[in-house]
Amino acid sequence: MRARILIFSLIITIISIILFSLASTQVYYNSSVDETEEYLLVYMNLYDENDYTADQDGADALAEILDGARVTYITADGTVLGDSRQQNISENHSDRPEVIAALEDGSGYAVRNSETLGENMVYYCKAFTEADGSTLLVRIAVSIPSEWKLFVKTLPTTATYIAIDIVLCIILAFVATYFIVKPVQDLAANASKKGMVTTKYSELKPIAEVLNERNRNIERQMGEIVAEKESVNNARKTKDEFISNITHEMNTPLTSIQGYAELLKAGALTEEQKQDAYEVISTQSTRLTSLITCIINYSEIDSDEILPDEVNFSEIAREMISVLRPEAESHDVTLEDSIEDNVIVQSRHELVCEVFGNLVRNAIRYNKPGGSVTVTLNYDCLKVADTGVGIAPENRDRIFDRFFTVDKSHGGKNGGFGLGLASVRKICLKYGWKISVESEQGKGSTFTVEF
Ligand code: ADP
């Protein structure tokens, strides 16, 4: 970086010095031309005021008093009558710009490199009318150094300035690197610490913002990774719990089946005891099958990838009520319904049956003899209200957990596994429905599913 600053500043300053020296040479040259022209005007007056012959001798005499200036006498047709610098010039001078100007306007200046003498000269030519009426052109010229010569003359000074410039640029490179790099180093040190990166230099603020944005992204990603890890751990925990629950639920019927099978095998049972044993084995086998079906149904809700379709909930509700009516009657429960036609939901037929069946079956099972169940279905929601046992406040949130049953005997009066409402909640979550429950112990419960 230091070398770059050095090279960059050197290039800029050396070019500036050279350009400045060229410009000042030009200005100096122009002013010396102007000054020389003024001198020539005075010289010409000297000629005018004195009497010099228009020949070689006259030219030499005038040149002598003009401090060596070149004097040339030229006729109107360009013939050189005399020249103080070179005798017997035969070349016609009518094409010289100052001669043309003098013939046209009376006088004229020109600055050029003399073809005759090879010097850079300022010419002043003036036309005079002689006594015989002829025109005499008097040209006085003074040599001045050319622009190039002036430039070459300034070279030692320019070189001195360039040398000083190199030293200054080296110092500048060190100072600039310090002042530029230091804030960047501070910023880097700041960025390696925790928290917001700040800088008082406005030029570095965009970098600080980029660093802050990057830090925020890293923090967000770290948060996501932690959350993901947590969710993986939770999922693992849930799975372990699930398996342990299943094992526990299966254990009860299996132990019964195994125990009674052992007794039957031993052959020491009376006929009546044998009948009881067959009965228990049959009931527990049915319960085991039903548990397995419930677990499969519950697990399939997640793995089900079939896209939802328009399902006529009203038709399903009416069909299921007619199926469930005998069960309600067997529990001495009245089943009433108020179902609007063509309530269409985005779901799947089997899952709508699962939600409806579980809620209504529970309302029947957890009812009291002589009680009632009222099913209301409209475009906004499904309500299943019963006049049953109700749910204790401390259990109201937990009834939706897997394998949660209020009756812990797992083989209680109603014999549920605690997977029904868990399935209902899972299905509701899947389709963005909201399930809620209101209940009063001993008076009944109302389950509401809002679509
Ligand atoms: P289960 O198979 O045991 O019925 P659910 O998940 O369907 O499992 O219900 C969980 C628990 O919630 C039940 O054990 C029951 O105690 C309680 N419950 C569910 N519905 C009702 C209801 N309508 N009235 C009273 N209690 C209910």
pLDDT tens digit sequence for 324-346 = 999 999 999 999 999 999 999 99
* Residue of 295, 421, 428 to mutate, ligand 1, most atoms within 8 A of C-beta: 421
Kindly state the tokens that stand for 425: 């909640």
**What is the pLDDT confidence band of residue 185, given thresholds at 50, 70 and 90?**
confident
pTM, two decimal places = 0.55
Which has the higher per-residue pLDDT, 317 or 201? 317
Of all atoms in ligand 1, which is nearest to the CA of residue 422? 6
- In whole angstroms, give the CA distance from residue 385 to residue 382: 10
Rounded to the nearest angstrom, the distance between the alpha carbon of 361 and the centre of ligand 1 is 9
pLDDT above 60 for 87: yes
Q: What does the alpha-carbon distance between residue 413 and residue 390 come to, in Å, rounded to a whole number?
A: 16
Distance CA 82, CA 418 (A): 137
CA dist 72 and 88 (Å) reads 11
183, 197 Cβ separation under 8 angstroms: no
Nearest in space to 315 (alpha carbons), one of 305, 307, 323: 323
Tell me the best of 360, 366, 401 to mutate to test the pocket of ligand 1, counting ligand atoms within 8 Å of each CB and taking the most: 366
Mutate to test the pocket of ligand 1, among 382, 405, 427 (most ligand atoms within 8 A of CB): 405
At 317, which helix (H) or strand (E)? Answer: helix 313-330
Q: Which residue has its alpha carbon closest to ligand 1 atom 7? A: 420
What burial class does residue 376 get, using C-beta atoms within 10 Å of its C-beta: 0-12 exposed, 13-18 middle, 19+ buried? middle
Closest among 199, 83, 204, 93 to 141, alpha carbons compared: 83
Residues 195-216, mean pLDDT to the nearest whole number: 88
**Closest atom, ligand 1, to C-alpha of 418:** 8
Strands (E), 348-407: 372-377, 381-386
Ligand 1 centroid, distance to 161 Cα (angstroms):
100
413 has a pLDDT exceeding 60: no
Which residues are registered as beta bridge partners of 377? 339, 382
Q: How far is the CA of 399 from the centre of ligand 1 (A)?
A: 6
Mean pLDDT of 89-105: 93
pLDDT > 70 in the chain, percent? 98
Q: Which residues neighbour 399 within 8 Å (Cβ) at sequence distance 6 or greater?
A: 391, 406, 421, 437
The average pLDDT across 165-174 equals 84
pLDDT digits (tens, 9 = 90+) for 427-438: 999 999 999 999
Q: Which of 252, 362, 387 to mutate to test the pocket of ligand 1 (most atoms within 8 A of CB)?
A: 362
* Cα–Cα dist 152/362, whole Å: 112
The overall average pLDDT reported for the chain is 90
Name the helix (H) or strand (E) containing 12: helix 2-49
Percent of the chain with pLDDT over 90: 61
Indicate the helix (H) or strand (E) that contains 335.
Answer: strand 334-339
Which residue CA neighbors atom 8 of ligand 1 most closely? 418
Name the one residue in this structure whose structure tokens are 């809002």. 450
Q: String of b and e for 418-437 (b: at least 16 CB within 10 Å)? A: bbbbbbbbbbbeebebebeb
Residues with CB under 6 A from ligand 1: 358, 362-363, 366, 386, 388-391, 399, 404-406, 416-422, 445
451 C-alpha to ligand 1 centroid (Å): 22
CA of 405 to the centre of ligand 1 (A): 6
List C-alpha distances in Å: 351 to 207, 227, 262.
Answer: 55, 31, 41
Q: What is the whole-number distance in angstroms between the Cα of residue 253 and the centre of ligand 1?
A: 20
Look up residue 300 and give its two tokens: 């399939």
* Cα 418 to averaged position of ligand 1 atoms, centre (Å): 7
Report CA(316)–ligand 1 centroid distance (Å).
Answer: 22
